[in-house]
Structure formats: C-alpha cells, structure tokens
Amino acid sequence: MGRSVKHTIVKRSAHILSSGHDPDGRVMQITFHNGDTHEFRGVPPEIYQAFLNSPSKGTFYHKVIAARFRGEKI
C-alpha cells in the first residue's frame, strides 16, 4: 500500500485536509487534519467525484467511503 497519489486540498472540512484518487488503480487517499493518511482500494472514479461534489466531505466519507471500502492507514 501507499502508492503515490496526487492530492488536492479539501476546502471547508473540519476533519479532512486533502484527498486524491488514482482512477486506473481505483485507489483513493484521504489525509486528515491530524496528519493521518488512509488509503482505500476499489473506489471507482464516480464515487470519488461524488465525494468531491458533496457538501459535507466528512459525512460522505463516513456514510459511503468508510462504510463500503476497506481502508488502511499508510
């Protein structure tokens, strides 16, 4: 784990600092304000796009990403 994925800053999130997605490998990474980065495998591009478009990144993370995809701290 721990592939190199380009991150973008997430605006207006109390818990999530940045996120990135590799559509070819279907890998999503989320970096939290506490400095932890978690990687999720099998995340399709449309789910990542829905995350980016969601009004609450934290709520989307908990309800969709963490609930459906296995994550690992990297």
pLDDT, one tens digit per residue, over 32-68 is 999 999 999 999 999 999 999 999 999 999 999 999 9
Residue 41 is assigned to a structural domain of this protein: yes
**Beta-strand runs (E) in 1-74:** 7-9, 16-22, 27-32, 37-41, 71-73
Domain boundaries, position 12:
7-73
The pTM of this model reads 0.85
**Alpha helical stretches, state H, 1-74:** 45-53, 57-60, 66-68
Q: Give me the mean pLDDT over the 14-41 stretch.
A: 92
Total domain count for the chain?
1
Residue 1 is assigned to a structural domain of this protein: no
Residue 2 is assigned to a structural domain of this protein: no
